[in-house]
Structure 1
């Protein structure tokens, strides 16, 4: 099996997509190919790094900010 084909399959695996070839074939290749094992580890690490994580809660400050506006500001009457 060509490394290019295996890496396409591993990319699908990482993305949770249907693998184009049998998982057993991919796993056998990974057992034998250090380059593809390394590629797979790096690709998984990259996916974890790029996965969006929920942000920290942000306090609601709108009312406090609006109260600090000058009285004649067009936004001072917005609530």
Structure 2
């Protein structure tokens, strides 16, 4: 049986457009969320994968990655697609 693995990078991070984000969010160290554009990017990727039979989305625990994965999973016709968070 063959298996296809897709690699997707997270959407645009807020610290890429707000250069002061890091100094204003010192408690979050390096875990910025997605920008509005980043959420739209994740939505577009989700539309691309929507009708594919994807069993699992494996993501890192960073907020931007989980937000991207959740948006992709929300678009899936296969509602049994699970998100697995891996360090």
* Fold similarity call, TM over 0.5: no
Structure that is richer in helix per residue:
1
Higher percent of residues as strand:
2
Give TM-score, length-normalised by structure 2: 0.28
